[in-house]
């Protein structure tokens, strides 16, 4: 029986947590299952938390998560149908998961009915070769690099992707969406609403909604023109559009756009656009090994010198100093 169909049969989930991942990604994976069990009054989900060595792992917030077992150990509950393996990873996943871990994942995957990657967990699945020929996603910050690194994978920027026996999510919130989607298909829409209501969570984004660089939240309701302008900006980081063209696309005057930005965000449109590009540049410097020239190109700066000046003015240090400091 498929994992994604109506059923009262229990699901056995092995959750492998790597160091330096987000606590929200971990909670978004585990807490919907806990809530579903509480509402049902029975164990719809059994989960076993594993780490690479069986020892507690430290998350990005500094808290440690204890493991039930070491990655690869088989538990009695894995004897049921619908065995699911979920790998949660975050920063420095390539350092935490060496070749032996990737080989172990590739070997163990065949013993599970479904295999998923949360956030950077998709990179581990890709390194193991499991996603070749499949559709997949990862966190929006890494979409371009992921696509370049794995041309054999059909990478799409959706919040989460299910393709055959594999699924991937773009981060914490998309993971929560995925778990609710799973619960809905197994227990029905009304039950899923009860689970979402425990967390006061409004699930209003479809899985195929592209992951945004910026999450405007209430702006989408209170001032949709600002949200739309931000969407245009984030889609043109490498080749910035003029503010006049952005206003034209929104069918408002440049002056009106300036008033909206100043009153809502306390930025001029041009200043916010520059802020957005520099924030993207900072993430690329911290999280990738891209050359500064490539970072400058990807964030729409005409020259390395112009990029370096703008970066230093914004963050107080040149790109090289920032990267060195982050890696100390």
Mean pLDDT of 236-240: 92
Indicate whether 140 pLDDT > 60. Answer: yes
Q: What is the pLDDT of residues 280-319, one digit of tens each?
A: 898 888 878 889 999 999 999 989 999 999 999 988 988 9
Mean pLDDT of 215-239: 81
Q: What is the pLDDT of residues 116-135, one digit of tens each?
A: 999 999 999 999 999 999 99
Mean pLDDT of 23-36: 96
**Domains in the chain: ranges and CATH:** 11-198 (3.40.50.880), 219-326 (1.10.10.60)
Helix (H) or strand (E) holding 101: helix 99-108
Q: Which residue has the higher pLDDT, 12 or 78?
A: 12
Helix (H, G, I), strand (E, B) or coil at 46: strand
C-alpha distances in angstroms, 16 versus 3, 86, 144, 227, 284?
19, 6, 25, 36, 26
Indicate whether 21 pLDDT > 60. Answer: yes
Q: CA 193 to CA 295: how far, in whole Å?
A: 42
Tell me which residue of 188, 264, 177 sits closest to 228, measured CA to CA: 264
Tell me which residue of 261, 301, 262 sits closest to 280, measured CA to CA: 301
DSSP 3-state helix, strand, coil percentages of the chain (rounded to 5)? 50, 15, 35
C-alpha distances in angstroms, 233 versus 86, 255, 276, 280, 285?
34, 17, 8, 12, 20
Calculate helix-pair angle for 243-250, 269-287, nearest 10 degrees. Answer: 110
pLDDT band at 264 (very low <50, low <70, confident <90, very high): confident
Average pLDDT score, the chain: 89
Indicate whether 1 pLDDT > 60. Answer: no
Q: What is the pLDDT of residues 149-206, one digit of tens each?
A: 999 999 998 999 999 999 999 989 999 999 999 999 999 888 888 888 888 887 666 6
pLDDT band at 327 (very low <50, low <70, confident <90, very high): low
How many CA atoms within 13 Å lie on the side-chain side of 172? 10
Residue 164 backbone zone (phi > 0: left; psi -120 to 50: alpha; other: beta) = left
Mean pLDDT of 227-247: 92
Residue 324 backbone zone (phi > 0: left; psi -120 to 50: alpha; other: beta) = alpha
pLDDT band at 79 (very low <50, low <70, confident <90, very high): very low
């Amino acid at each position: 029986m498929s994992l994604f169909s109506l059923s009262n049969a229990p699901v056995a989930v092995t959750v492998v947590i790597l160091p330096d991942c987000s606590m929200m990604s971990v909670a978004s994976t585990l807490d919907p299952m806990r809530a579903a069990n509480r509402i049902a009054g029975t164990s719809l989900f059994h989960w076993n938390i594993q780490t690479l060595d069986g020892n507690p792992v430290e998350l990005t917030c500094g808290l440690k998560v204890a493991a039930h077992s070491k990655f690869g150990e088989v538990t009695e509950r894995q004897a049921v149908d619908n065995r699911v393996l979920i790998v949660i990873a975050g920063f420095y996943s390539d350092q935490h998961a060496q070749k032996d871990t990737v080989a172990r994942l590739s070997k163990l995957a065949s013993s599970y009915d479904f295999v998923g990657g949360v956030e950077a967990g998709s990179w581990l699945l890709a390194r193991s070769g499991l996603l070749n020929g499949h559709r997949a996603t990862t966190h929006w910050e890494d979409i371009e690099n992921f696509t370049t690194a794995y041309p054999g994978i059909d990478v799409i920027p959706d919040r989460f992707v299910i393709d055959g026996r594999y699924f991937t999510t773009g981060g914490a919130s998309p993971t929560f969406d995925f778990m609710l989607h799973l619960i809905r298909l197994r227990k029905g829409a009304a039950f899923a609403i009860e689970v979402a209501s425990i967390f006061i969570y409004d699930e209003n984004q479809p899985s195929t909604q592209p992951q945004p660089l910026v999450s405007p939240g209430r702006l989408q309701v209170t001032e949709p023109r600002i949200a739309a302008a931000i969407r245009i900006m984030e889609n043109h980081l490498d080749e910035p559009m003029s503010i006049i063209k952005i206003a034209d696309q929104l069918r408002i005057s440049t002056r009106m756009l300036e008033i909206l930005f100043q009153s809502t965000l306390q930025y001029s449109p041009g200043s916010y656009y520059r802020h957005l590009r520099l924030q993207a540049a900072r993430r690329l410097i911290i999280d990738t090994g891209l050359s500064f020239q490539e970072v400058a190109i990807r964030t729409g700066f005409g020259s390395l010198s112009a990029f370096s000046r703008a970066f230093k003015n914004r963050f107080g240090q040149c790109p090289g100093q920032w990267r060195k400091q982050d890696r100390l």
